[in-house]
C-alpha cells in the first residue's frame, strides 16, 4: 500500500512539474498579440502618434513591445524593437548605448536569416548616424556606403537612398571635406527631392559658398513645395533657414519675423531640439541689433530648456539601462527555471527524488541568485557614479563660465589665457583659420562666444559702442565672412565641426 501511494505521489509530482513547465513556456503574452505589436509599430513609424514627441513614453512602449515579442517568441518583433530602441537612443545622443542595442539586433536569429535589403540598409544608416555621433566618420561612411549598395538596384527605395546620402554629407561635414559634403547633398536631393533637401542646399550656399542668389533659388523652390503633405516639422526648418537668409542679407526685421514663426511651430509640435536652436538664434540676432534685454531673455530660456532636455535624456538612458538589465535577468531566470524543472523531473523519474540531488540544485540556485544580485548591484553603482560625474562636470562647467565672465568684466589680463585653457579646440580652430589674428580680435571673439552684447563689450573694454561695431566689421573681413554673418552662430558652428 505504501509502495503504491509513493509511486502515485511521484507520478503526481512529476505530472504537475511537466504541466507547469510547458504551461509557463508556451502561454501567450496576455498584454499584446503579434498583430497588435505590428500595428503599434506601424502607427508609431508614421509619425502621427503622441509619443513621437515624448521620448520617455516611446522608450517605455518599446520595452513593452520587446517583452511581448519575447513572450510570444516573435523573432521579427524582437529584431525591429531592438532597432527602434537603438534609433531612439541615437536621437537623444546616447550613441554608445544605441550601439549596444544594434549589437543585440545583429545577434538575433531573425536578422541573421533575413534577406530584406531595406532592413539591412536602415541598420547601416542607423550605424552610420551613431558613428557620426561618436566622431568615427570613416566607419560611418563605410556603413552608409553599404546601405546604398543594398538598395542601388531598387528604384522603389529612392527616399531611403536620399537619407543615406544626407548622412554621408553629415559625415563629410565632420571631416571638413566641403566638396564631398556638397556632392552628397546633391545626390540626396536627386534621390529625394523633398522640401527639407532643398532647404539644406540653400543653407549650404549661405554657409560655405556665400552665393546669396543660389541660396535664394533653392529656398524659393522649397517654399513652392510647402503644402499640406509637408510636416509641420519640415515647415519649421524651412522658416528658420529663411530667417537665417534674411539675417545674412541684413534684413533683421524679416529675420526676427521668420524666427518667431519657426519658434511657434516648434513649440506647438513639442520639438525641443528645434526650440533650443531658435532660442539661440533669437538671442544672437537681438544681440547684434543691440537689444541686450531680449538677447539675455532668450539666452536664459535656452539655458532653462537645455537643462530640462538633459534631464529627460538622462531619464531615458536610465530606463534603457534598467530594462536592459531586467531583460537579461529574465532570460537568465527563465533558462534557469527550465533547467531546474528538467533536472527535478529527471531526478524524480530516475531516482525517486534523491535528497542529495535536490540539495545540490538548491545550492546552485542560491549561488546563481547571489551572483546575479551582485552583478545588478555593481551595474547600479556604475550608473549612479556616471550620474554623479555628469552633475560634477556640469557644475564645474558653469563655475568656469562664471569665472570667465567675471574676468572679462574686470578686463583682467588673465581672461584670454583662461579662455584658451577652457576652450582649447575652439581657440585652435580660430588660430588655424587666421594665424595672424591679433590678441584684441581674439578677446573680441571670446566675449562674443560668452554671449556678451555689443553694449556689454563696449562697457567692459572701455570703448565706444560704435567702436565695437567697427571691430566686428573688420573682424568679419579678416575671417573672410559676409557682412551679415552672425559671429556668435559662426563660432558655435565652428566649435561643432
Residue 16 pLDDT: 46
Whether 462 maps to a domain, the answer reads yes
Q: What is the pTM of this model?
A: 0.58
Ranking 145-154, 178-187, 190-199, 350-359 by mean pLDDT, the lowest is 350-359
Domain assignment of residue 461, given as a range:
415-496
Q: Which residue has the higher pLDDT, 362 or 10?
A: 362
Residue 27 pLDDT: 40
**What b/e string do you get for 265-288 counting C-beta neighbours within 10 Å, with b at 16 or more?**
bbeebebbebbbbbbbbbbbbbbb
Residue 40 pLDDT: 80
Query: What is the per-residue pLDDT across 40-97, written as a single tens digit (0 to 9) for each?
Result: 877 655 443 344 456 777 788 888 888 888 888 899 989 998 998 998 888 888 889 8
Residue 254 pLDDT: 92
SS (H, E, C) the chain: CHHHHHHHHHHHHHHHHHHHHHHHHHCCCCCCCHHHHHHHHHHHHCCCCHHHCCHHHHHHHHHHHHHHHHHHCCHHHHHHHHHHHHHHHHHCCCHHHHHHHHHHHHHCHHHHCCCCHHHHHHHHHHHHHHHHHHCCHHHHHHHHHHHHHHHCCCHHHHHHHHHHHHHHHHHHHHHCCHHHHHHHHHHHHHHCCCHHHHHHHHHHHHHHHCCHHHHHHHHHHHHHCCCCCCCHHHHHHHHHHHHHHHHHCCCHHHHHHHHHHHHHHHHHCCCHHHHHHHHHHHHHHHHHCCCHHHHHHHHHHHHHHHHHHHHHHHHHHHHHHHHHHHHHHHHHHHHHHHHHHHHHHHHHHHHCCCHHHHHHHHHHHHHHHHHHHHHHHHHHHHHHHHHHHHHHHHHHHHHHHHHHHHHHHCCCCCHHHHHHHHCHHHHHHHHHHCCCCCHHHHHHHHHHHCCCCHHHHHHHHCCCHHHHHHHHHHHHHHCCCCCCCCHHHHHHHHHHC
Residue 155 pLDDT: 79
Residue 392 pLDDT: 64
Q: Which residue has the higher pLDDT, 241 or 61?
A: 241
pLDDT bracket for residue 293 (50, 70, 90)? very high
Whether 458 maps to a domain, the answer reads yes
Q: Is the pLDDT score of 4 beyond 50?
A: no
The separation between CA 232 and the C-alpha centre of its own chain, rounded to angstroms, equals 20
pLDDT bracket for residue 128 (50, 70, 90)? very high
Residue 357 pLDDT: 55
Residue 114 pLDDT: 84
Query: What is the per-residue pLDDT across 243-253, written as a single tens digit (0 to 9) for each?
Result: 999 988 999 99
Report the percentage of the chain scoring pLDDT > 70. 76
Whether 429 maps to a domain, the answer reads yes
Query: What is the per-residue pLDDT across 382-438, written as a single tens digit (0 to 9) for each?
Result: 656 766 666 565 666 678 788 889 998 888 889 989 998 888 888 888 888 888 889
Residue 15 pLDDT: 46
What value does the mean pLDDT of the chain take? 80
Out of 119-123, 204-208, 392-396, the most confident range is: 119-123
Ranking 16-20, 325-329, 373-377, 465-469 by mean pLDDT, the lowest is 16-20
Residue 349 pLDDT: 56
> Is residue 35 classed exposed, middle or buried when 0-12, 13-18 and 19+ CB atoms within 10 A define those classes?
exposed
Whether 466 maps to a domain, the answer reads yes
Whether 489 maps to a domain, the answer reads yes
Residue 144 pLDDT: 93
Whether 460 maps to a domain, the answer reads yes
Q: What is the CATH number of the domain that holds 435?
A: 1.10.10.10
Residue 389 pLDDT: 64
Q: Is the pLDDT score of 353 beyond 80?
A: no
Q: How many domains does the chain have?
A: 1
Whether 440 maps to a domain, the answer reads yes
Ranking 223-227, 365-369, 420-424 by mean pLDDT, the lowest is 365-369
pLDDT bracket for residue 176 (50, 70, 90)? confident
Residue 355 pLDDT: 54
Residue 14 pLDDT: 44
Specify the long-range contacts of residues 243-249, CB closer than 8 Å, at least 24 apart: 243/281, 244/203, 244/206, 244/281, 245/202, 245/206, 245/212, 245/215, 245/216, 245/219, 247/285, 247/484, 247/486, 248/206, 248/212, 248/215, 248/482, 248/484, 248/485, 249/212, 249/484
pLDDT bracket for residue 319 (50, 70, 90)? low
Q: Which residue has the higher pLDDT, 483 or 75?
A: 75
pLDDT bracket for residue 161 (50, 70, 90)? very high
Whether 450 maps to a domain, the answer reads yes
Amino acid at each position: 500500500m505504501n509502495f503504491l501511494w509513493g509511486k502515485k505521489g511521484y507520478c503526481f509530482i512529476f505530472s504537475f512539474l511537466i504541466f507547469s513547465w510547458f504551461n509557463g513556456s508556451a502561454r501567450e503574452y496576455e498584454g499584446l498579440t503579434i498583430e497588435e505589436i505590428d500595428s503599434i509599430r506601424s502607427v508609431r513609424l508614421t509619425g502621427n502618434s503622441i509619443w513621437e514627441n515624448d521620448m520617455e513614453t516611446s522608450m517605455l512602449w518599446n520595452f513593452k513591445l520587446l517583452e511581448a515579442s519575447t513572450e510570444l517568441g516573435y523573432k521579427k518583433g524582437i529584431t525591429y524593437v531592438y532597432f527602434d530602441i537603438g534609433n531612439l537612443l541615437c536621437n537623444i545622443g546616447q550613441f554608445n548605448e544605441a550601439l549596444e542595442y544594434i549589437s543585440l539586433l545583429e545577434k538575433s536569429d531573425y536578422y541573421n536569416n533575413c534577406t530584406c535589403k531595406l532592413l539591412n540598409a536602415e541598420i547601416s544608416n542607423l550605424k552610420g548616424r551613431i558613428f557620426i555621433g561618436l566622431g568615427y566618420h570613416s566607419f560611418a561612411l563605410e556603413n552608409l556606403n553599404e546601405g546604398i549598395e543594398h538598395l542601388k538596384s531598387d528604384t522603389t527605395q529612392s527616399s531611403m537612398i536620399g537619407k543615406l546620402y544626407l548622412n554621408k554629407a553629415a559625415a563629410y561635414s565632420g571631416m571638413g571635406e566641403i566638396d564631398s559634403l556638397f556632392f552628397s547633398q546633391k545626390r540626396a536631393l536627386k534621390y529625394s527631392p523633398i522640401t527639407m533637401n532643398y532647404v539644406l542646399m540653400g543653407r549650404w550656399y549661405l554657409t560655405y559658398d556665400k552665393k546669396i542668389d543660389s541660396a535664394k533659388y533653392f529656398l524659393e523652390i522649397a517654399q513652392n513645395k510647402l503644402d499640406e503633405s509637408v510636416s509641420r516639422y519640415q515647415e519649421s526648418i524651412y522658416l528658420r533657414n529663411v530667417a537665417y537668409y534674411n539675417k545674412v542679407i541684413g534684413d533683421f526685421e524679416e529675420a526676427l519675423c521668420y524666427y518667431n514663426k519657426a519658434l511657434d511651430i516648434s513649440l506647438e509640435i513639442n520639438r525641443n531640439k528645434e526650440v533650443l536652436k531658435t532660442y539661440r538664434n533669437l538671442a544672437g540676432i537681438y544681440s547684434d541689433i543691440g537689444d541686450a534685454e531680449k538677447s539675455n531673455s532668450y539666452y536664459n530660456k535656452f539655458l532653462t530648456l537645455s537643462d530640462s532636455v538633459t534631464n529627460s535624456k538622462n531619464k531615458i538612458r536610465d530606463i534603457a539601462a534598467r530594462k536592459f538589465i531586467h531583460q537579461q535577468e529574465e532570460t537568465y531566470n527563465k533558462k534557469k527555471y527550465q533547467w531546474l524543472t528538467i533536472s527535478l523531473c529527471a531526478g524524480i523519474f530516475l531516482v525517486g527524488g534523491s535528497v542529495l540531488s535536490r540539495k545540490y540544485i538548491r545550492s546552485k540556485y542560491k549561488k546563481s541568485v547571489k551572483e546575479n544580485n551582485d552583478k545588478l548591484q555593481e551595474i547600479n553603482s556604475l550608473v549612479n557614479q556616471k550620474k554623479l560625474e555628469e552633475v560634477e562636470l556640469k557644475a564645474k562647467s558653469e563655475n568656469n563660465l562664471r569665472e570667465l565672465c567675471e574676468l572679462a568684466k574686470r578686463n583682467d589680463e588673465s581672461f584670454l589665457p583662461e579662455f584658451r585653457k577652457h576652450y582649447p579646440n575652439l581657440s585652435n580652430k580660430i588660430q588655424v583659420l587666421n594665424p595672424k589674428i591679433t590678441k584684441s580680435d581674439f578677446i573680441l571673439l571670446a566675449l562674443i562666444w560668452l554671449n556678451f552684447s555689443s553694449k556689454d563689450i563696449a562697457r567692459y573694454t572701455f570703448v565706444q559702442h560704435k567702436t565695437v561695431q567697427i571691430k566686428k566689421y573688420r573682424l568679419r573681413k579678416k575671417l573672410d565672412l559676409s557682412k551679415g554673418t552672425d559671429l556668435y552662430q559662426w563660432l558655435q558652428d565652428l566649435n561643432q565641426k
